[in-house]
Structure 1
């Protein structure tokens, strides 16, 4: 297991320890373990550790093609049931004629209730409709307490799984890039087709996020399934590291949000 852990970032160590603890719990109790909602990078880490431990896993986020999902870790002889994933879906009723909601508005209001980000899944918006996923155990609390977004009064309503759910409208294309290293400045420079110094300036001015967190160090090293957002340039995902060229440069397959 140490040989796997060393391939991840030092700052990911606390999460890795949690993931190792989840797998040990399943091995010791022979019972399934359900995680909170994980982003794609966290899912990748858990999947790597679970596969190495000889266990099985499955993921569910409520919506079709979700980004954030709960992972169920279980012995290979266990058959998961729909109720195992404990995901609740809600719609938000708000005065759409007078208010325009954005993803950050909804997420900020949910987290202002003092609940950890891992308790919430995807937030979907379309025209005057808004929906979100949450861990099942919080549904009663949210019904009682989630009644405003900013200055606007809202009312949430739980959806059953036959309801019409908002589809992700995101369209990603795949592009192959060649970079000198996995440093953040090198990758940003490549995807923007700009000089390295411009990439450094963007990073140092807090205009680049990795996995939704601002990164101000140009030497920060990226890895597979990291997501990037560059203010003014869009969103990107490192889908896979495709190997090296004859000149020892790294080939990256990157998803670009259109």
Structure 2
């Protein structure tokens, strides 16, 4: 049995990358810091590296509640501290009386700088206050080039990490039943849309599972998967609770409040 059998085929490329990071730490006996990883990628890194033996891993994304975090893979002699993750927190200053910004505006402008999503951490919002995390190595580039978000002229102010806006995810859980664990079947059940409409959304690239676009309607979902549909929102499969007497799956779905 190989390590790949524990993961989905589309994750094998990332697994190769993680094995490479681990090998570098083992051969150089020095810590390796990654870019920002989504929660699924963090779980894979934790599974492969673990914290048993000569190599360990720690995660940090600027706050304890962060969704996107950098991984620090390190040998046993090393004791990681917050500063080792090389994170920068920017706060957006803009004319709040005249302009309304949304999360998608901030993300869109960041992606418009030509850098990969992995260089950016969480985007935090508290009313009309927006902050975001970046890796230290791109902070000067971002500060020099990001001067507009949407129609708003903006400036960026670097803040200490402890001044990060506190956000909290609240999931509202409910039980659904489906005939299978296929993506289109589950989506149809909890969004109350027809199977045909859901399949069109999937094929059009509007659906992500674990932060990765999935265009295969028969994609097999599993416990813990996070499913997001553009324009609808995000849900998580909290648990798969077995089958009913009529051979339908009982699933607990969490939706963002």
TM-score (norm. length: structure 2):
0.86
Q: Deviations over 1:160-193 (max 9, x none)?
A: 1342x22225311344544443321122133235
Hey, what does 2:15 align to over in structure 1?
16
Instruction: Name the residue aligned to 1:234.
Output: 233
Deviations 1:173-226 (A, max 9, x none): 344544443321122133235554453344345443323444332112223443
Deviation digits for residues 28-73 of structure 1 (CA, Å, limit 9, x no counterpart): 2222211111111111111111129743222111134111111112
Counterpart of 2:85 in structure 1 is 85
Cα distance, 1:203–1:145 mapped onto 2, change above 3 Å: closer
The CA distance in 2 between the partners of 1:225 and 1:69, in whole Å, is: 18
Cα distance between partner residues in 1 of 2:240 and 2:19: 25
Q: Does the residue aligned with 1:79 lie in a helix, a strand or coil?
A: coil
Match of 1:109? 109
In 1, Cα distance between the equivalents of 2:206 and 2:92? 30
The 5 A counterparts of 1:110-189 are 110-163=110-163, 165-189=164-188
Shift of 1:76: 4.1
Distance 1:142 1:194, change over 3 A: closer
The question of whether the paired residues in 1 share the 8 Å contact of 2:208 and 2:228 is answered with: yes
Equivalent pair of 2:101/2:150 in contact (CA under 8 Å): no
Task: Tell me how large the CA RMSD over aligned residues is.
Answer: 2.7
* C-alpha distance in 2 between matches for 1:250 and 1:136: 46
Aligned residue number for residue 61 of structure 1: 61
Residues of 1 paired with 2:117 and 2:203: CA distance? Answer: 26
Aligned twin of 1:31: 30
* Matched residue SS, 1:80: coil
Preserved contact between residue 63 and residue 161 of structure 2 (Cα < 8 Å): no
Uncovered stretches (5+) of structure 2, i.e. residues with no partner: none
Distance (Å, rounded) in 2 between the aligned partners of 1:139 and 1:145: 10
Deviates more, 1:230-239 or 1:65-74: 230-239
Does the CA-based 8 Å contact 1:93-1:155 persist in structure 2?
A: yes
Compare 51-60 and 183-192 and name the one that shifted more: 51-60
| CA distance 1:75–1:225, change in 2 (3 Å) | farther
Separation (CA, whole Å) in 1 of partners of 2:233 and 2:25: 40
**Between 197-206 and 74-83, the greater mean CA deviation after superposition:** 197-206
The alignment partner of 2:36 has SS state of: strand
Gap change, CA 1:51 and 1:245, over 3 Å in 2 = farther
Alignment match, 1:43: 42
TM-score, structure 1 length as denominator? 0.86
Corresponding residue for 2:75? 75
In the alignment, the residues of structure 2 paired with residue 249 and residue 56 of structure 1 have an alpha-carbon distance, to the nearest angstrom, of 41
CA distance in 2, matches of 1:101, 1:255: 27
- The 2-side partners of 1:108 and 1:187 are apart by 29
